[in-house]
Amino acid sequence: MQANTMKALAKTHPEPGLWMGHYPVPEIGPTDVLIRVNATGICGTDIHIWNWDDWAAGTVPLGLITGHEFAGEIVEIGAQVEGLNLGQRVSGEGHLIGNTSRQSRAGRFHLDPGTRGIGVNEQGAFAQYLKLPAFNVVPLPDDIPDEIGAILDPLGNAVHTALSFDLLGEDVLITGAGPIGIMAAAVARHAGARNVVITDVNPERLSLAEAVADVTPVNVAQEDLQAVAARLGLKEGFDVGLEMSGNQAALDQMVEGLVMGGRIALLGIPPGKSPVDWSRIVFKAITIKGVYGREIFETWYKMIAMLQNGLDVSKVITHRFAAEDFQDGFDAMRSGSSGKVVLDWTGMQA
């Protein structure tokens, strides 16, 4: 039997920060499971909520338990749930979907317009226990440890973006060497890309990218991207671009660096409105695809398969803290110099 109360991190004040407090353990319904959380990852979304920027203030209700990247084990199962077991190690899809939209009824669950997110709209995973619909549960194989299970959500973003286009034998440009961009670089190499170039202006992030994956890091504040492409023998440019930074200058540079008929997958979100030279995109016949979240559940299948077949993103985790030391974890993430930051909940006392 689990305790009646639990510790959790919540947004309780309309100002920067999160606060650890005691909350009731969630009560599950007949189609839910209760998960004891072992590890959580800190996401860029969590940083927005911590900072209480305009997006967070207009989206996140006060009192919400935040966090959506997690791994744990099932400790209670709803009466109508089949195919899951007590004690089973799991992660899960944090997008809670409806079943009435055209997209959901067609099986394109990630495009459901009524999607709500745990840790953003619904009670989240920075807690000792999490209630989750059984539909959203993703079992973890024994060879995937909890700390990797806790970053499958952002890895899924990287996989969804990277696999938007065929990468076999292609030359790939990635703009933005944050943790998701770095993981996308590793995925691109695993998927058979010939050259993978990743750009940024943060030397620590570029060094991390080089440690995680077989990539060519380029500091665009110091190096000319066109010269790098020429050095690699790319006479016409890159075939595929993965824009992960949300920086307009990076997107402009990507458009210029692509071949005629090049393809871009956009995951980075620019702040506000950005000027775009659409004529340049049209005359280069460039295809642009916006990417949101993960394909439910195809992306989960592919990334777990790749992890079991040699994809190694473990080095992207640069900081590990006990959940009690969440302040240190958020400080590391907010510094802009870390990779993924993981909080360990296993030693937390109720």
Q: Which residues lie closer than 8 Å to 67 by C-beta, 6 or more apart? A: 9, 40, 42, 43, 46, 118, 119, 124, 125, 126, 127
Q: Which residues lie closer than 8 Å to 229 by C-beta, 6 or more apart? A: 197, 237, 238, 257
Whole-angstrom distance, CA of residue 51 vs CA of residue 45:
10
Structure tokens, 74: 């099932």
CA proximity to 339, closest of 18, 32, 26, 42: 42
Amino acid at site 4: N
In this structure, are strands 116-117 and 195-200 parallel, antiparallel, or unpaired? unpaired
* DSSP code for 98: -
DSSP string of 227-284? HHHHHTT-SS-EEEEEE-S--HHHHHHHHHHEEEEEEEEE----SS-----HHHHHHT
- Are 345 and 37 in contact by the 8 Å Cβ rule? The answer is yes
- Sign of the C-alpha dihedral computed for residues 156, 119, 322 and 84 taken in this order: negative
Count of Cβ atoms closer than 10 Å to residue 294 Cβ = 26
- Are 269 and 294 in contact by the 8 Å Cβ rule? The answer is no
CA proximity to 2, closest of 150, 127, 136, 151: 127
Which amino acids are annotated catalytic?
A: 45, 48
- Are 225 and 201 in contact by the 8 Å Cβ rule? The answer is no
Point out which residues pair with 287 in neighbouring strands: 263
